[in-house]
Structure formats: C-alpha cells, structure tokens
Amino acid sequence: MIAQVLVFCNNKFMNIGIIGNYGATNIGDDAILESILKSHPEHNFTVFSANPDKIDKKSNLQVVKPLFPLGIRSFFKNGFRKPIKALKAVDVVIFGGGGLMQDSYLFACFLWAWQIFWVKFFNKPLFIYATGVGPLKTRIGRRLAKYVYNYAMGITCRDKKSKNILLSLKIPSESIEITADPVFLLQNIKNHTERKHNRYIISLRPWLKYNKKIISVFTEYLLQIKEERGAEFVFVCMQSIKERDHAVIDPIVKKVGGTMFIPQNFAELTKIMQEAEFAIGMRYHFLIATILTQTPALAISYSPKVDSLLKDSILEPYMLAVSDLSSAKLTDKLKRLSVDYNNVKVYQKRRCEDFKELARNNIGYFEGFIKSGN
C-alpha cells in the first residue's frame, strides 16, 4: 500500500476523477459509469475516456477528458496537456468498474497501468471501485496488475475470485472488500410488459479462438429451435467497436434471420429484454440484465466473471462453457430451463437481491474512504 496521507477538502463536495472503459460503445461499461454517478450525487466527477464524445454528459458529470495516450496515434490526436490539467484539478481518483486488468488482451493491462502511473505521479489518492480481476496468465500481466492495485488505498472487487487473484499478488487482504457490480443498483425494474411466446433475446461476442465455433454452433442450434418451436430472435449488440459483437452475430443473422438491436443504454436493453420469453447470452452485463428482469437465461461462460454470476448458485445448471459449446448441449440446457421456467424466475429474483445488497456496500466503502482523509 502507498505511504501517503490523505488531505481532502473539508466541504461536502469533492472533485473526483474516474478512469475506466467509458465511451467505448460498451453498454455494460457505460452502465457502470451511470450507476457510480447516481450512487454519489453529492460529488462532481471528471471522466477520463478514450472517446469523450460518446459519453452522456448529464447528472453530476462536470467535464470529460481523454485518457492519457499510450499509442502514437492517440498521442498526436490528444496529447498530454488536457488529461494532465484535468488530473491536477481532482481531489481523488476512482479506477472504476468492469474487468479492466486482464491479459486475455494484454494491451489492456498496459493501458490501465499507464493511466495509474499518472495518478501516482501526481500523488492522487486512488480508490478501485468494484472491478473484476483476471484472468492473469502472463508474468507481465500480473506485474502490471500488482502495480495498479498496490497503489490503491481502498479496493472493492465484484467477486471472490478477483479477491483471490489479488491475494496471490500479495495485495493485503485488509485492503480488499468483496462487493458486486454497481449495475445491480442502476434501477428498480418492474415488469409490466407481457412476454412474447418463443421470443429469444440473444447476446453473443467474439472471443479469441472460438469465433468460428460460436457462429457454427449457434447457426445450427437456432435453425433447429426456429423449426421446432417457431422461435423468433432478437440479437443484441452490446459493443460496436473494438471487440465488435457484429463479427459473430452478423453471419448468424444472415442464415437464421431475426432482428438486430443496438441499445443506446442499459435501460433500453432491460426494456426490450422484458418482452422476451428466453435469453441466451455471453456478455457479462447482458446476463446481469437477465437477472434484474427475471428473464430465464442460458449463460455461455467465456470468462471467470461470468462464472461469478451463476457458479455455486441454483442458477449454475443453466450455464455452459464456451469450450463445451455444442448444439446438443444447448438443446439439453434449454429443455431443463423450460421445465424449470417459473422456478428460475424466483431463483433470479433471490440472486438479484443478494447482489444488490453487496453492490450497496460499494457506496459505503467509498464514502468511508473519503471521510478517512478529513
């Protein structure tokens, strides 16, 4: 942990910088930002984003600045002047939400460690807010993650596995609290919409070596349930740039038909989800939306963060690892989900209440972190 003394302003309002994967057309990450802002309305926020024009400038969001550039193109586009000026003006920095430190894409570890280098350089107190950690399979990924988390004076992580990874990096246990994803607090959803029989809402994403498998298996499977059940499909694109969901969804839509839906925010996602009878999803925050709306779902796990939502719970039987993906296994899972349909909705409601309670702790831990400096 850093050996620094917090000296905060004594008034109620603070200027807080927040760094994360915001404005990257990822519905889940932007929902995290929205939830954090709504959870701390008494403070002013400066958001550091690679795409500031894509962030909804409302609520207590004071200003949006670009991230510190890591590549040559981003350096010539944005430079360092604006982010340095903005960082100097804040009292505290949040490194907030999502699975930021993971080396499935190693560049991510370099990018976020670079941002925290500047936070440390200007001696700004750092609170890490409900992040997921890992997987970290490389030595450099683990070293960069240790650099980031070792500087923080307060850490909440959204699942037990993330805490265990941090402990393996020798981050002190007393510095880490297990909470839940902030998106569970985003809104109280009441379902007044009648679900449409045999409507499936589906979220798929590209993932490393499995893209061809995802496309081929889901093409076969969806054609099967379309013929057998008269199913109709709504495909949800949760991210439009970088890890583009279109890469795996478009080839499937061409062969099985269906509607493509690109939500502008998390509220639009939950609204259309309430019309579906079943959901099938890979994206983490898509699966959070199924729990919030009590939409019975098959979860395709590609990452430990997906496991954390369902593993060791009564919803685990409806999860399938992407490595085990097959049309036959999807068929078996859907049969079980159909039989257990009403019970699953009850299970989801209970699971949601548990996660909401944990997510509320993020608010208290962060406010306690601030007060500790007065």
Domains of the chain: 15-178 (3.40.50.11930), 196-354 (3.40.50.2000)
Q: Can you point out the beta strands (E) in the chain?
A: 15-19, 44-49, 61-66, 92-101, 126-133, 154-157, 176-178, 196-203, 232-236, 259-261, 276-281, 297-301, 319-321
DSSP 11: S
Per-residue pLDDT at 3: 36
DSSP 239: B
Q: Which helix (H) or strand (E) holds 115?
A: helix 107-121
Which positions of the chain have pLDDT values less than 70?
1-12, 57-63, 74-76, 188-192, 242-243, 373-374
Radius of gyration of the chain (CA): 21
Q: Which helix (H) or strand (E) holds 369?
A: helix 341-371
Encoding tokens for residue 15?
Answer: 């200027």
CB 27 within 8 A of CB 35: no
**Sole residue written with tokens 């981003």:** 74
CB 263 within 8 A of CB 239: no
Measured at the CA of 104, the angle between CA 282 and CA 148, to 5 degrees, comes to 110
* CB-count exposure of residue 18 (10 Å: 0-12, 13-18, 19+): buried
Say if residue 135 is preceded by a cis peptide, omega within 30 of 0. Answer: yes
Q: Which helix (H) or strand (E) holds 162?
A: helix 160-168
Q: 123 — alpha (psi -120 to 50), left (phi > 0) or beta?
A: left
List beta partners, residue 127: 94, 154
